[in-house]
């Protein structure tokens, strides 16, 4: 049996950091190849091992293979995407309309990760002050699945341009269950060397050194070695 107190090997650490740095939000590169059930099982197991406040485990996983269901979800996306486009103007709107922002029909599998906001049987340890901790915990399940998928060579795309109430209706969710993440999942033709929105000039990654504060907002880091590491990180 594996000893959890054993330190990670250099290869294990390198693999973890590689998955983090090479994870991508995939929209355009999906292949039709099915995801084997055992691989999908490993991804769901990884998601299920995310940390959760009060160990409430508020997530459920809706595996969506039905083309009819996906067409209904794609219809919601199309309507909401048009609303989104109209919030921009001029060249920015044209740029927005040129972007591929989902792979609902192209990916072989869709997955909705939900948050059961009633789970925990009354007051939940750690959620008595910040009631959104169930939502935050479910986001960690999404990230676990995303990193595991990258390690398996599988792409994931989060479709956030959806009306959540309409989505809940299509999926038949109970009133207390919130559809937190609608994901497109599948093998891909390639993983881009940088985020797609960065490659297409929508936004670029912010410098890490500008985002780290010491002891209070706006206070610079005083440790020279840390400041250098933030300005010139060395990914594994």
Do 93 and 29 share a structural domain? Answer: yes
Do 216 and 142 share a structural domain? Answer: no
Do 155 and 51 share a structural domain? Answer: yes
Do 189 and 134 share a structural domain? Answer: yes
Do 96 and 48 share a structural domain? Answer: yes
Q: Is residue 3 part of a domain?
A: no
Q: Which of 115, 114, 78 is nearest to 97 (CA)?
A: 78
Q: Which parts of the chain fold into alpha helices (H)?
A: 10-22, 37-48, 67-85, 90-98, 133-151, 164-171, 196-199, 224-231
182 close to 167: Cβ distance less than 8 angstroms: yes
pLDDT of residue 234: 63
180 close to 138: Cβ distance less than 8 angstroms: yes
pLDDT of residue 121: 83
| pTM assigned to the model | 0.95
Alpha carbons 114 and 123: distance in angstroms, whole number? 20
Q: How many domains does the chain have?
A: 2
Which burial class, exposed, middle or buried, applies to 87 when counting CB atoms under 10 A from its CB (0-12, 13-18, 19+)?
A: exposed
Alpha carbons 207 and 227: distance in angstroms, whole number? 12
Q: Is residue 110 part of a domain?
A: yes
CA neighbours closer than 13 Å in the CB half-sphere of residue 222: 4
Q: Is residue 94 part of a domain?
A: yes
User: Which residues touch 20 (CB under 8 Å, ≥6 apart)?
Assistant: 147
pLDDT of residue 98: 97
Rounded alpha-carbon distances, angstroms, from residue 15 to 8, 19, 86: 10, 6, 42
Q: Is residue 33 part of a domain?
A: yes
Instruction: Give 28-61 as a 3 state SS string.
Output: CCECCCCCCHHHHHHHHHHHHCCCCHHHCCCEEE
Do 183 and 106 share a structural domain? Answer: yes
pLDDT of residue 236: 53
User: Which residues touch 199 (CB under 8 Å, ≥6 apart)?
Assistant: 192
Q: Is residue 1 part of a domain?
A: no
Do 211 and 200 share a structural domain? Answer: no
Do 106 and 165 share a structural domain? Answer: yes
Q: Is residue 67 part of a domain?
A: yes
Residues of the chain with pLDDT under 70: 1, 234-236
Q: Is residue 84 part of a domain?
A: yes
Q: Which domain holds residue 82?
A: 10-204
Do 212 and 105 share a structural domain? Answer: no
Do 200 and 136 share a structural domain? Answer: yes
Q: Is residue 2 part of a domain?
A: no
pLDDT of residue 163: 98
User: Which residues touch 110 (CB under 8 Å, ≥6 apart)?
Assistant: 64, 65, 69, 70, 73, 104, 182, 183, 184, 185
Question: Burial letters for 62-84: b for 16+ Cβ neighbours within 10 Å, e otherwise?
Answer: bebeeeebbebbbebbeebbeeb
Do 234 and 118 share a structural domain? Answer: no
CATH label of the domain that carries residue 63: 3.40.109.10
Beta bridge partners of 219: none
Do 189 and 85 share a structural domain? Answer: yes
pLDDT of residue 181: 98
User: Which residues touch 160 (CB under 8 Å, ≥6 apart)?
Assistant: 182
In the chain, pLDDT over 90 holds for what percent of residues?
93
């Amino acid at each position: 049996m594996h000893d959890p107190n054993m330190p990670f090997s250099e290869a294990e650490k390198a693999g973890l950091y590689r998955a983090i740095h090479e994870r991508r939000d995939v929209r355009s590169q999906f292949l039709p190849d099915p995801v084997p059930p055992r691989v999908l099982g490993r991804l769901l197991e990884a998601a299920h091992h995310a940390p959760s406040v009060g160990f409430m485990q508020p997530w459920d996983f809706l595996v969506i293979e039905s083309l009819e269901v996906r067409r209904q979800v794609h219809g919601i996306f199309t309507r909401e995407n048009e609303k989104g486009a109209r919030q921009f103007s001029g060249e920015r709107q044209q740029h927005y309309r040129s972007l591929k922002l989902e792979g609902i029909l192209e990916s072989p599998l869709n997955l909705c990760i939900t948050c059961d906001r009633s789970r925990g049987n009354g007051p939940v340890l750690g959620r008595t002050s910040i009631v959104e901790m169930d939502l935050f915990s479910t986001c960690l399940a999404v990230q676990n699945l995303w990193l595991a998928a990258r390690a398996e060579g599988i792409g994931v795309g989060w479709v956030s341009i959806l009306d959540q109430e309409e989505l809940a209706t299509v999926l038949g969710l109970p009133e207390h269950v919130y559809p937190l993440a609608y994901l497109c999942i599948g093998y891909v033709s390639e993983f881009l060397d940088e985020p797609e929105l960065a490659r297409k000039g929508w936004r670029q990654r912010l410098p890490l050194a500008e985002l780290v504060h010491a002891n209070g907002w706006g206070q610079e880091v005083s440790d020279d070695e840390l400041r250098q590491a933030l300005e010139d990180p060395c990914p594994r």
